[in-house]
Amino acid sequence: MRRKYFGTDGIRGKVGDAPITPEFMLRLGYAAGKVLTRTGKGAERPAVLIGKDTRISGYMLESALEAGLAAAGVDVLLVGPMPTPGVAYLTRALRLSAGIVISASHNPYDDNGIKFFCGAGAKLPDKIETAIEAELARPLQCKKSAQLGKARRIEDAVGRYIEFCKSTFPTHLDLKGLSLVVDSAHGACYHIAAHVFHELGADVAEIGNKPDGYNINAACGATHPQALQEAVKKQRADLGIALDGDGDRLVMVDAGGRTYDGDQLLYVVASHRQRRSRLKGGVVGTLMTNLGTEHALARLKIPFARARVGDRYVLEMLQAKGWDLGGENSGHIICLDRHTTGDGIISALQVLGALRDGRTTLAKAAAAVKLYPQVLVNVRTERRFDFSADLKVKQAVAKAEAELDGSGRVLLRASGTEPVIRVMVEGKSRSAVERWAEAIAAVVRKAAA
């Protein structure tokens, strides 16, 4: 069955437009309740946890999901604003049937979406999402009154998650004497991130920690690190940490204002673990991972594999290979020996731990990664367009690859979260990369019109 609603990271869209409507969320809650709790695990009544980021629409969608789950006979635990990885942790720690996150991650405030976690704290496999879609096609049949679900709020959820994050940092290290600026993107980490780093000893200044329902990811956070760069320089801080709206992405800034993306930070953690004989197997990246990172890992003889774009696919490949470490250049980093999913705060702690243990700076630790120029152009489409079958698009790609002559890559892919086709060109020559990215994008734009 072809999935109609689920993309690479749950369901996402513009609030008020299908499927991000109260009516659909009611049905989704009911369908998810039916599918996710079929096994029951011997419990009297299944229970699902709901967390959300700070978007104004979260209140509306939360209420609709809660009603749908209750109609399916599922108890609901509410935690309010909570990072996506925090929901994953609490779902597992509380032995629940599933966890739901209401968030559109790095998107603007007028988008929203839904992500699911199974009871083990991992994102749902495709087959479960497909089963939920199949259930959506069936009529909603409310349970009898005696079988309806109840709802209650978990008052200590924030404290539980803060302690969990701290527990992933090496016990023989601390952050004393380190000055940090933490940018929470006015998102789900606004009341959590700074506490974690401060309680480990760091001197912490905060930005992006005053959400109003509308300013999530607005000129701040991991997708807009310029505000953090300025704040680090102004505060004369040692490092800056930028998270995104739902707290699963990480970008860092050094004292000089230089930014470090997920590829570079992944290398820092991997190389340190190898030196301490704690790297299990190799590293999983994605089709978007910079060639410079792959080459730097190869020089250390660290095995590297590419998964499809999306942290869920990185996770699936890690599990298949029995490895612990993987990530994306966007800032999703997965450390399976620390958490079941990508976590911006925990990823930052792994980087900081590597720097403290190695008594080095971020610049020195990441110096071996010489990133190739990489240009990404998003081509918005109003209809489904199979670019892989279009002759002119294939010819444009072939011409670019011939000129790059093995010293670069061309990658076209449809976004799983937006109605766009992403055109990526990577190579040693920035001018050639920019020229071919724009040229291919123009062909795609014309063909998709």
Statement: 374-448 belongs to CATH 3.40.50.300:
no
Joined tokens for residue 72: 């399916």
Joined tokens for residue 428: 């040693």
- Domains 172-259 and 261-365 fall in the same CATH topology: yes
SS (H, E, C) the chain: CCCCCCECCEEEEECCCCCCCHHHHHHHHHHHHHHHCCCHHHCCCCEEEEEECCCCCHHHHHHHHHHHHHHCCCEEEEEEECCHHHHHHHHHHCCCCEEEEECCCCCCCCEEEEEEEECCCCECCHHHHHHHHHHHCCCCCCCCHHHCCCEEECCCHHHHHHHHHHHCCCCCCCCCCCEEEEECCCCCCCCCHHHHHHHCCCEEEEECCCCCCCCCCCCCCCCCCHHHHHHHHHHCCCEEEEECCCCCCEEEEECCCCEECHHHHHHHHHHHHHHCCCCCCCEEEECCCCHHHHHHHHHCCCCEEEECCCHHHHHHHHHHHCCCEEECCCCCEEECCCCCCCCHHHHHHHHHHHHHHHCCCHHHHCCCCCCCCEEEEEEECCCCCCHHHCHHHHHHHHHHHHHHCCCEEEEEEECCCCCEEEEEEEECCHHHHHHHHHHHHHHHHHHHC
Q: How far is CA 302 from the centre of its chain?
A: 24
Where along the chain do its domains lie? 11-154, 172-259, 261-365, 374-448
pLDDT computed for residue 332 by the predictor = 96
Q: Is residue 188 within 8 Å of residue 209, measured between CB atoms?
A: no
Beta-bridged to residue 360, according to DSSP, are none
Q: Please say if 431 is a catalytic residue.
A: no
Q: How far apart are the first and last CA of the chain?
A: 28
Closest residue by Cα to residue 99 from 186, 157, 22: 157
Nearest-angstrom CA–CA distance, 143 and 67: 12
Closest residue by Cα to residue 102 from 163, 152, 49, 149: 49
Q: What's the CATH class of domain 11-154?
A: alpha beta
The total number of residues written for the chain in this structure? 449
Residue recorded with tokens 């061309």: 410
- 409-433: burial string, b at 16+ Cβ within 10 Å, e else: bbbbbbbbbbeebbbbbbbeeeebb
pTM, two decimal places? 0.92
Residue recorded with tokens 């991992």: 122
Q: How far is CA 29 from the centre of its chain?
A: 22
Statement: 172-259 belongs to CATH 3.40.120.10:
yes
Statement: 261-365 belongs to CATH 3.40.120.10:
yes
Beta-bridged to residue 378, according to DSSP, are 422
pLDDT computed for residue 2 by the predictor = 66
**Residues of the chain with confidence (pLDDT) below 70:** 1-2, 39-44, 417
pLDDT computed for residue 4 by the predictor = 87
Nearest-angstrom CA–CA distance, 169 and 347: 10
pLDDT computed for residue 405 by the predictor = 84
Task: Exactly one of 105, 184, 330, 347 is catalytic; name it.
Answer: 105
